């Protein structure tokens, strides 16, 4: 399901709803520290979910280059921050993204940008991992794609299980990364290196 970019003038309606939430929590909205909080929260939410409005085609298509290179390309330790769609609490960590080119490479800066597009949505880590891999596979048409996300989930650390420092690791292996154990192992070894 694709969501459209938020309409202009959405900050005030979001702020009004957050004022209601604060009131229901028993807060005093006239208190100095809370006077502008609803507007700040509204703007922060719009910023943290700006990935819905991204044009992935424009992001990637302008940075595809014909190159005679057939070895693995890996961008690792890409920092990301996202919001869990179940509790609207942050999860954050690192993404490791690799692909095997088939006559085309993508500008290296586009890979972290692609990670950010999918992170800046209400997410579950498993879906985000797949979205990154499937987008690279469909747009770049490489021989294979591997994506690993390692993240801490505040919905697990601050509430519920209260399981501190228990990162969740998800992966998506497509094409040669799924079929060829040597390719997969090379990817995993490169991700593990210099840690």
Number of CB atoms found within 10 A of residue 31's CB: 10
Which residues are marked as active site? 84-87, 125, 153, 155
Strand duo 90-100 + 73-84: pairing: antiparallel
Beta-bridge partner residues of 146: 98, 173
Q: Compute the distance between CA of residue 195 and CA of residue 176 in angstroms, rounded to an integer.
A: 25
Asked if 136 and 145 count as a contact pair (C-beta separation under 8 A), the reply is yes
Question: What distance in Å separates the CA atoms of residue 187 and residue 128, rounded to the nearest whole number?
Answer: 19
CA atoms of 171 and 148, how far apart (whole Å): 4
Torsion angles phi and psi, residue 158, rounded to 5:
-90, -20
Rounded to the nearest angstrom, the gap between the alpha carbon of residue 95 and the centroid of all alpha carbons in its chain is: 8
Q: For residues 95 and 130, what is the distance between their CA atoms, to the nearest angstrom? A: 12
């Amino acid at each position: 399901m694709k969501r459209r970019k938020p309409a202009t003038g959405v900050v005030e309606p979001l702020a009004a709803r957050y004022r209601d939430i604060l009131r229901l929590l028993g807060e005093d909205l006239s208190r100095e520290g809370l006077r502008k909080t609803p507007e700040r929260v509204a703007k922060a939410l719009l910023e943290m979910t700006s990935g819905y409005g991204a044009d992935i085609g424009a992001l990637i298509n302008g940075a595809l280059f014909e190159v005679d290179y057939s070895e693995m390309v890996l961008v690792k330790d890409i920092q990301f921050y996202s919001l869990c769609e179940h509790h609207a609490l942050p999860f954050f960590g690192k993404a490791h993204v690799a692909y095997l080119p088939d006559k085309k490479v993508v500008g290296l800066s586009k890979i972290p940008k692609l990670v950010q597009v999918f992170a800046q949505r209400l997410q579950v880590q498993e879906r985000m991992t797949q979205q990154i891999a499937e987008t690279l596979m469909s747009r770049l048409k490489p021989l294979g794609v591997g994506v690993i996300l390692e993240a801490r989930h505040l919905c697990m650390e601050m509430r519920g299980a209260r399981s501190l420092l228990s990162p969740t690791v998800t992966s998506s292996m497509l094409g040669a990364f799924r079929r060829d154990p040597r390719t997969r192992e090379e990817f995993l070894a490169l991700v593990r290196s210099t840690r």
